[in-house]
Amino acid sequence: MVNLAINLNGLILKNPVILASGTAGYGYEYDDFIDVNQLGGVSVKGTTLHNRAGNAYPRMAETPKGMLNAVGLQNKGIDYFIENIYPRLQEYDTTMILNASGSTIDDYVALCEKANELEHIPAIELNVSCPNVKEGGMAFGVSCAGVSEVVKEVRKVYHKHLMVKLSPNVTDIVEIAKAAEAEGADSLSLINTLLGMAINAETQRPVLSTITGGLSGPAIKPVALRMVWQVSNAVNIPIVGMGGIMNTTDAIEFFLAGASAIQIGTANFINPQVSIEIINGIEDYLKKYNYTDIQQIIGKLKTT
Amino acid sequence: MTKTVAKLSISEHKRVNDDHFILTLKKDGVFPEIKPGQFVNVLVEDTDVFLRRPFSIHDADTKQQSFSLLIKAVGKGTKSLQSKKVGDTLDVLFPLGNGYSLQENNKVLLVGGGFGIAPLYYLAKQLKDKVEDIHLLVGARSAKHILLTEKFDGLATVHITTEDESLGEKGYVTNHSILEDDFDKIYTCGPHPMTKALALYALNREISCEVSLENMMACGYGVCLCCVAETKTHENVTTCLQGPVFNAKELQW
Ligand SMILES: Cc1cc2nc3c(=O)[nH]c(=O)nc-3n(C[C@H](O)[C@H](O)[C@H](O)COP(=O)(O)OP(=O)(O)OC[C@H]3O[C@@H](n4cnc5c(N)ncnc54)[C@H](O)[C@@H]3O)c2cc1C
Ligand SMILES: Cc1cc2nc3c(=O)[nH]c(=O)nc-3n(C[C@H](O)[C@H](O)[C@H](O)COP(=O)(O)O)c2cc1C
Ligand code: FES
């Protein structure tokens, strides 16, 4: 027997595999493909205080080994979520995480206050890093002062597990990570999408309605691994790693780099069952190398 | 309707012309109910292709446990599919989307542009018992781009427009004289400018009209929100889950 359960600074996951926000829907969209209850967790669609229609179509461009998106946090707002979606989520036996976004500190605070009351949602993933909203979002995530301020204010009203999701679109992610830790983040998740762009040479126009968008998929994995490695060496809170994880090998690499759990994003679009395949794959890997606990490989990258 | 992801074997690969082909795929075991207008999302196992590629279901046969796709080779993914052989397997996510509604009517018009004709064949077959008089209108640049209309023999009266007048009436589908007739309903699938023109035509004349959209998709099952269309009420709805078929009057044109 190998133990896959993870204690993320108080947040218990039955295994370290979480569906990433914006690719997970609300979890139930996966019912046809997998047993959602077997997942370590689901980070549900980015939610804001008020309804957001999101950006205009086209919102997607395929790129080499990846894709750009410019969804722009389309969601119906937290009240709609609580009334119409949250009741359905209670039926699942997996850790539901609310991905929370805002454009002002007041919005973040009001949203997280409401989220604090949701008994079946033991954690929020504070998204201070979305590249697809004009105001706020990433603006907070790209400076230490911004991250400090939003985490500090949210921490006052949110008393459960506070995971802060970091942007890779910064000069020094380590400084940002430390700022989030200092203000009371319980864990960090990284990375969000990398700001990118696609151009259609024939029409001489950008492919996305917003011109720039967020890059995800295998194309970003080396950057993500590097950031997880750097941050895990600099903070004492657990890290949830993501960025281009397509299979078990990718997942193991993130654990070795220092991630205590991982999220699967874009890979779901290629194979909606991949999360379960990766959970099984991690177990097989641990058995193969005679480990008894996932903990035994976390941060165990050999550098000498 | 349960969606599945399955490895399906290619039981037939039929050339239509230089750049169009029909793949028939067979599924063992449980075979889902398939509605006309639904689509599949195919994994193209080619290193240069990352996301799945969506295609309408062209025909389906529950007894044979098979369905077919009419594909136009336009780029790397579709060209890679064109080179597949009978016996090869494809990883397919299906059936996706809502599909056309199948009401009883006296006289309906199906309008297809380009590979937009793909879902209309299965639609015509499913409407046969429900509709007295089915008409198909297809348009293309010239005669050699008019595809598969012979398949509709005995199913629908076929009308054609070509831009160079090499077959049927000259012009676009929206200029064809058959549009003067009274139809109870119009079903359409094709490039956006065509569906839009038809939707506006139908709205103007107060004819019920269902359009199938071909927006760019990433997931195909409603989680990524990349494929959205705007409704009259300025809401963005997913064309893969809430569509691809919409009542023309619900969308913002
Ligand atoms: C619901 C739906 C049903 C479809 N049904 C059919 C069908 O029955 N038969 C068929 O041949 N095609 C159909 N398409 C279009 C088909 O998905 C694209 O042609 C295909 O994805 C192109 O892939 P590629 O790798 O060959 O092209 P790429 O190399 O990716 O691109 C080549 C060209 O194809 C265009 N293209 C790429 N993706 C799409 C897309 N999703 N929709 C429209 N154009 C696109 C690009 O703009 C580009 O100009 C459908 C699309 C959707 C969304
Ligand atoms: C279509 C799409 C929508 C996304 N929406 C969100 C979101 O709402 N909130 C968020 O924190 N991250 C969002 N992300 C980022 C992912 O959660 C993840 O951080 C990123 O895609 C990198 O992981 P991946 O390469 O495995 O996809 C989105 C990603 C994609 C592809
Ligand atoms: S393609 Fe992902 S929601 Fe439609």
Q: Do A270 and B48 touch (CB under 8 A)?
A: no
What Cα–Cα distance (Å) separates residue A84 from each residue in A78, A195, B97?
A: 10, 32, 22
Domains in chain B (CATH in brackets) are 4-96 (2.40.30.10), 105-210 (3.40.50.80)
Percentage of chain B modeled with pLDDT above 70 = 100
Nearest of A208, A294, A220, A209 to residue A259 by alpha carbon: A294
Nearest of B36, B27, B12 to residue B188 by alpha carbon: B36
Average model confidence (pLDDT) for chain A? 95
Residue spans of alpha helices (H) in chain A: 78-80, 86-89, 105-116, 138-141, 144-157, 173-182, 221-232, 248-257, 267-270, 274-288
- Mutation to test the B interface, candidates A47, A59, A73, A215, most B Cβ within 10 Å: A59
Give the number of residues written for chain A: 304
Q: Any idea which ligand is nearest the CA of B240?
A: 3
Residue B209 assigned to a binding site: no
Each residue's pLDDT tens digit, B174-225: 889 999 999 999 999 999 999 999 999 999 999 999 999 999 999 999 999 9
Could you say which DSSP state residue A84 is in? I
Each residue's pLDDT tens digit, A222-264: 999 999 999 999 999 999 999 999 999 999 999 999 999 999 9
Q: Any idea which ligand is nearest the CA of B41?
A: 1
Kindly report the protein residue whose alpha carbon is nearest to atom 19 of ligand 1: B74
Report the C-alpha gap between A126 and B24 in whole angstroms. Answer: 47
Where along chain A do its domains lie?
Answer: 6-54+73-198+215-296
Nearest of A172, A69, A218, A152 to residue A164 by alpha carbon: A152
pLDDT at A142 over 90: no
pLDDT at B90 over 90: yes
In chain B, which residues have their Cβ closer than 8 Å to the Cβ of A58? 215-216, 226
Give the number of residues written for chain B: 253
Question: Among residues A24, A68, A98, A130, which one is catalytic?
Answer: A130
What Cα–Cα distance (Å) separates residue B179 from each residue in B65, B173, B174?
A: 37, 9, 7
Nearest 5 degrees, angle CA B203-CA B234-CA B94?
80
pTM: 0.96
pLDDT of A296: 98
**Residue A10: CB atoms within 10 Å:** 12
**Cβ contacts of residue A115 below 8 Å, gap of 6+?**
A78, A98, A100, A121, A124, A158
Q: Which of A23, A99, A125 to mutate to test the pocket of ligand 2 (most atoms within 8 A of CB)?
A: A23
Average model confidence (pLDDT) for chain B? 95
**Cβ contacts of residue B85 below 8 Å, gap of 6+?**
B10, B13
In chain A, which residues have their Cβ closer than 8 Å to the Cβ of B5? 33, 271-273
**Cβ contacts of residue A194 below 8 Å, gap of 6+?**
A131, A168, A169, A214, A215, A216, A220, A223
Each residue's pLDDT tens digit, B231-248: 999 999 999 999 999 999
Residue A144 catalytic?
no
pLDDT of A140: 76
Handedness of CA A60, A62, A64, A65 (dihedral sign): positive
Interface ipTM: 0.95
Q: Which of the pair, B124 or A142, is modelled with greater confidence? A: B124
Report the C-alpha gap between B65 and B60 in whole angstroms. Answer: 8
β partners of residue B108: B134, B185
In chain B, which residues have their Cβ closer than 8 Å to the Cβ of A63? 50
Nearest 5 degrees, angle CA A207-CA B233-CA B100?
75
**Cβ contacts of residue A301 below 8 Å, gap of 6+?**
A229, A256, A257, A258
* pLDDT band, very low/low/confident/very high, at A134 (cuts 50, 70, 90): low
Greatest alpha-carbon span in chain A: 57
Each residue's pLDDT tens digit, A169-181: 999 999 999 999 9
- Helix, strand or coil, per DSSP, at residue A24: coil
Handedness of CA B122, B123, B124, B130 (dihedral sign): positive
Its CATH class, for the domain covering A6-54+73-198+215-296, is alpha beta
B131, B107 Cβ separation under 8 angstroms = yes
Give the one of B4, B50, B52 whose C-beta lies nearest to A66's C-beta: B50
A85, B251 Cβ separation under 8 angstroms = no
Structure tokens at A105: 């500190």
- Mutation to test the A interface, candidates B30, B51, B217, most A Cβ within 10 Å: B51
What Cα–Cα distance (Å) separates residue B30 from each residue in A6, B8, B26, B37, B64?
A: 37, 12, 11, 21, 12
**Cβ contacts of residue B25 below 8 Å, gap of 6+?**
B8, B9, B10, B11, B66, B67, B68, B69, B90, B92
Find the residues whose C-beta lies inside 6 A of ligand 1. B 39, 49, 53-56, 70-72, 74-78, 115, 118, 214-217, 244
pLDDT of A254: 98
Backbone angles phi, psi at A85, to 5 degrees: -110, -45
